[in-house]
Amino acid sequence: MMSNSFQGETITWQAGHCYLGEILVACTSTGVCAVLPGESTEELVEDLARRFPGATLRHANDSRAVWFADVMSYLIDSRKPLSVQLDLRGTEFQCKVWQTLREIPSGCSASYGEIARRMGVPTASRAVAGACAANPLAVVVPCHRVLRGDGSLSGYRWGVKRKQAVLSHEQGLSER
């Protein structure tokens, strides 16, 4: 859950569809604050409202909005750099984990322990997993690229089936 750091702010959202199902992309005046995959737009708007209590949610109703189009393009090919600003808010530790995740190239993966070691806190792999679960930006902050120490898939906030789909999609891109 996000803190009330978005209290009183307007969050604009737009929904679309890709290989992960329905996708909701949301942004503040600072940048993209959520990328949420799910089954239906209604479910995703409810998730957005739960994550950002106290914010005013506004439907953009514009699939050509630069921030929306850029994220949808990134979902198609995550090797391209993302040109939109992100508005990532969390604890200092979560933000550090999310930044470390963004350094894992498309088509690659790391273990929770490796991420903890890269951050200089080798015993924090469980805390890294918690920060991955709190990540509001699916694919954009690539928590799907974090695997168990033995290389197997572990939980994913949006379902292991989606995690496998993103990893397979990215693997296909890197083989082109």
Distance CA 115, CA 56 (A): 35
Q: Say which of 27, 33, 132, 143 is annotated catalytic.
A: 143
Is 27 tagged catalytic? no
Nearest one of 152, 155, 168, 103 to 126, comparing CA atoms: 155
Q: Which contacts (CB < 8 Å, 24+ apart) does range 72-78 have? A: 72/16, 72/18, 72/23, 72/25, 74/139, 74/140, 75/18, 75/19, 75/20, 75/23, 75/35, 75/139, 76/18, 77/173, 78/106, 78/139, 78/142, 78/170, 78/173
Nearest one of 156, 158, 137 to 70, comparing CA atoms: 137
Distance CA 3, CA 13 (A): 19
Residues with a known catalytic role? 143
